[in-house]
Amino acid sequence: MKFFIVVLPGDGVGPEVVAEGVKALGAVGTTFGHDFQLGYGLIGAAVFELQRTALPQTTLEMCKRCDAILLGAVGEPKWEDPTVKVRPEFGYGLTRLRKELGLFANLRPVRLYPALVDSTNLKPEVVNGVDFILVRELTGGIYFAEPKRTWQTPEGRQAVDTLIYSEKEIERIIRVGFKLARSRRKKLTSVDKFQILQSSELWRQVAEELAREYPDVQLEHMLVDACAMRIIQRPTEFDVIVTENLFGDILSDEASMLAGSMGMMPSASLAGIPQEGRRLFGLYEPIHGSSPHRAGQNVANPIATVLSVAMMLRYSFGLTKEAQIVEAAVDAVLSEGYRTYDIMDEGKIRVGTKEMGDLIAGKVANWSPRIGAS
């Protein structure tokens, strides 16, 4: 099968981890006879310096013509100054790309590989068996709604950010949660700030209405602060969590510690509701940032990017078997004791970005139906 993928390496460690994701993709193509054609585009701080936009029109147009997008990371410390009006991460960069392409459903799987049970800061009996998906609404809410501004008054500066959600936006993201839960353990946790936010009042109403269409799925409501606590206390109780943009951003970063590191956390941003056997346009990226202080040192963990490639295979290309093999290759490499710095344990074998990518791609290349990832 033939697929066209736009690759956006971005900033910091983005180009390094993306290279290893491409390496895994190449191993899949060679082993299973798929033709993955790649087109490279510019995004982020580097191009912002030259063009004063973090998303050139040429990049956007190429993304509109492809089957899927593989992204590294965007961001540079010089743009973190709070007085800067426009940053590569917002408005003219990644968020604009998500909005332009209608990528409203962000899936962030939280899975602790058995080999990493001692790599987290939590007790093994708490984290052992963690396996849930956090579904974050990605194109609405407080990140996008207007008015959004800062102004000067006689009493001092003031700022406003507006939180708006429509019934349609809420319905489509909660439906994603129900669909995923139906294909897993049939439990959906809808997270809001009920009785405080009007948007959460609407969110809960829509969730209850949709629940009638999914009688086989258990729906529970949870306040965001309670959910933050439960993720640390009893994370194995979760199956699928669905929530709005800001809450999802915060909770998924917290949940990454259950997987051992942000370097283990992939994501998929989809333009529709995932269904078995259906090809769906999406953007795939690790959830970690650009980590510019580690760029060029061959230390960044590429596993989140490789697992994002596995999600691409599953959701955008319908290649479930190939996705499972990539995930099995990661599991096998970790089980053999190889680690990047962020998941390093005593007695394990420390490797760099390229070496970890080579090990995983090697497992995929040597896969056979008889012996699995050898």
pLDDT tens sequence across 243-289: 999 999 999 999 999 999 999 999 999 999 988 778 999 999 999 98
Distance CA 32, CA 83 (A): 51
Delineate the domains of the chain, giving CATH numbers in brackets: 1-119+260-367 (3.40.718.10), 130-250 (3.40.50)
Q: Which of 131, 161, 249, 358 is catalytic?
A: 249
Q: Which of 253, 341, 345, 348 is catalytic?
A: 253
Q: Tell me, yes or no, if the pTM score tops 0.85.
A: yes
Decide if 186 is catalytic: no
Decide if 179 is catalytic: no
Decide if 143 is catalytic: yes
pLDDT tens sequence across 31-51: 999 999 999 999 988 788 788
pLDDT tens sequence across 117-161: 988 889 999 999 999 999 999 999 999 889 999 999 999 999 999
List residues bridging with 43 in a β-sheet: none
Whether residue 280 contacts residue 270, with contact meaning beta carbons closer than 8 Å, is answered with: yes
Decide if 225 is catalytic: yes
CB neighbours (10 Å) of residue 345?
14
pLDDT tens sequence across 135-146: 999 999 999 889
Q: Which of 143, 214, 284, 338 is catalytic?
A: 143
CB contact set of 120 (below 8 Å; sequence gap of 6+): 112, 127, 257, 258, 259, 260
Q: Could you tell me where the beta strands, DSSP code E, fall in 131-256?
A: 131-137, 148-153, 156-161, 187-192, 218-223, 240-243
Q: Which of 23, 179, 193, 363 is catalytic?
A: 193
